[in-house]
């Protein structure tokens, strides 16, 4: 399995092997030992799946506060997304910094985003299907959001604001400065 630590080293891009033949393909999309060898050691307790019908859908920037903070292992099984992780851990040397990766059914890559990060993505195709494993259960009360095109974060999104399709909730999210104290680096 290909493993790459991104510019924020706690964020890891992994690409499991895909075995193609005349019938189609087979892939071990999750193997606990291979993930541990890659540095992804926290156990997962919930699988999520979302479908975004339009190109330009933006979901995020989201997190859940401790004790419900979630690490996420994200993959795109249909279409393509641009997946972004923002370090929200006060005291981290990369606090307020972001890293991103294109995840697609073609490149078969997965992005590990630890607890303490905000997560979001925009779709690069229609009918983008995203599946992700979480290390914490959903807890609505502890959900927090930051505005996707935050001026403070200056994320270099591959879509224009006028192309973005968002939920009401995400349109009303606050600036990144609201996240001060949400998480602490250790
Ligand atoms: C996240 C979640 C949502 N829901 C329900 C709550 C709503 O009735 C409905 C849609 O939720 P939401 O609009 O928050 O879905 P997304 O905008 O895709 O949110 C996700 O987007 C970003 C990219 C993330 O990383 C998070 O996993 C999550 O915040 O699903 C559940 O029942 N369980 C869950 O774990």
Residue 127 DSSP label:
S
Residue 171 phi/psi, 5-degree rounding, is: -65, -25
In the structure encoding, which two tokens stand for residue 177, read together?
């400065």
Q: Residue 52: is its pLDDT beyond 90?
A: yes
Residue 110 phi/psi, 5-degree rounding, is: -130, 145
Closest CA to 31 of 70, 74, 1, 4: 1
Atom of ligand 1 nearest to the CA of 143: 29
> In this prediction, what percent of the chain has a pLDDT beyond 70?
100
Tell me, what's the pLDDT at 186? 86
Tell me, what's the pLDDT at 165? 98
Tell me, what's the pLDDT at 107? 98
Q: What is the mean pLDDT of residues 44-70?
A: 98
Instruction: Find the helix or strand (DSSP H, E) in which 76 lies.
Output: strand 72-78
Q: Is the CB of 138 within 6 Å of ligand 1?
A: yes
Q: Is the CB of 59 within 6 Å of ligand 1?
A: yes
Q: Residue 157: is its pLDDT beyond 90?
A: yes
Tell me the whole-structure pTM to 2 decimals.
0.97
> In this prediction, what percent of the chain has a pLDDT beyond 90?
99
How large is the ipTM? 0.98
Q: What is the mean pLDDT of residues 58-75?
A: 98
Torsion of Cα atoms, 5 then 7 then 8 then 10, to 10°: 10
Residue 24 CA, ligand 1 centroid: distance in Å: 31
């Amino acid at each position: 399995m290909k493993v790459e630590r991104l510019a924020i080293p706690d964020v890891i891009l992994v690409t499991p092997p895909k075995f193609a033949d005349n019938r189609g393909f087979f892939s071990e999309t999750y193997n606990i030992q291979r993930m541990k060898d890659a540095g992804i050691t926290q156990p997962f307790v919930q699988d999520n799946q979302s479908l975004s019908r339009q190109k330009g859908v933006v979901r995020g920037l989201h997190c859940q506060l401790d004790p419900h903070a979630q690490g996420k292992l994200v993959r795109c099984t249909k279409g393509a997304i641009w997946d972004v992780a923002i370090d929200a851990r006060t005291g981290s040397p990369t606090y307020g910094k972001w890293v991103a990766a294109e995840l697609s059914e073609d490149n078969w890559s997965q992005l590990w985003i630890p607890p303490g990060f905000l997560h979001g993505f925009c779709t690069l195709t229609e009918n983008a299907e995203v599946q992700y494993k979480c290390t914490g259960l959903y807890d609505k009360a502890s959900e927090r959001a930051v505005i996707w095109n935050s001026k403070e974060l200056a994320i270099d999104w591959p879509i224009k604001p006028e192309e973005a399709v968002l939920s009401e909730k995400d349109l009303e999210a606050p600036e990144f400065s609201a996240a001060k104290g949400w998480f602490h680096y250790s």
